[in-house]
């Protein structure tokens, strides 16, 4: 929507943020989710689409939920890792990007591991 204009003839833009989707107008981060391979892992659960784009406000727990949904696994069986370190659920994508990936090209590379269901 445009209302009025400035002396240069350009329209002023009005935007109602109160009715906007919470994450739609955020910064975004591109991720690559690859399965961490281990000799003990016999699980066939692998993502079909390993590239994800999400809001910088999204947390690791949100990413885990989406991953579990796509792999059809319970939440407690999936971990998100960066350099073999399990990431805390409360960490945001922006915190992760700034603390561990700043200055490197996109996409941010993360791994996921699937715990053995018998444990």
pLDDT tens per residue, range 33-65: 999 876 565 556 677 788 999 889 999 999 999
Which one has a higher pLDDT value, 116 or 29? 29
Q: How far is CA 69 from CA 2, 13, 58, 66, 72, in A?
A: 41, 39, 16, 5, 5
pLDDT tens per residue, range 68-110: 998 888 888 899 999 999 999 999 999 999 999 988 988 999 9
Nearest to 46 by CA among 68, 71, 64: 71
Position 89 in a domain: yes
Position 118 in a domain: no
| Cα gap 116→114, rounded to integer Å | 7
- Residue 114 binned pLDDT confidence (cut-offs 50, 70, 90): confident
Position 10 in a domain: no
Position 90 in a domain: yes
Nearest to 57 by CA among 90, 18, 85: 90
Write the DSSP symbol of residue 71.
H
Total structural domains in the chain? 1
Range of the domain at 60: 27-113
- Contact (Cβ atoms closer than 8 angstroms) between residue 2 and residue 13: yes
Global pTM? Answer: 0.70
Position 12 in a domain: no
Position 98 in a domain: yes
Tell me the CATH number at 105.
Answer: 3.10.20.90
Position 1 in a domain: no
């Amino acid at each position: 929507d445009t209302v009025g204009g400035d002396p240069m003839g350009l329209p002023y833009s009005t935007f109602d943020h109160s009715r906007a989707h919470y994450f739609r107008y955020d910064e975004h981060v591109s991720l690559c989710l690859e399965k961490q391979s281990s000799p003990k892992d016999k699980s066939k659960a692998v993502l079909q689409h390993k590239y994800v784009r999400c809001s910088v406000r999204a947390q690791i727990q949100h990413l885990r939920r989406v991953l579990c949904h796509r792999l059809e696994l319970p939440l407690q069986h999936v971990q998100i890792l960066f350099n073999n370190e399990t990431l805390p659920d409360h960490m945001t994508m922006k915190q992760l990007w700034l603390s561990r990936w700043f200055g490197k090209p996109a996409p941010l590379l993360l791994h996921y591991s699937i715990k053995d269901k018998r444990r």
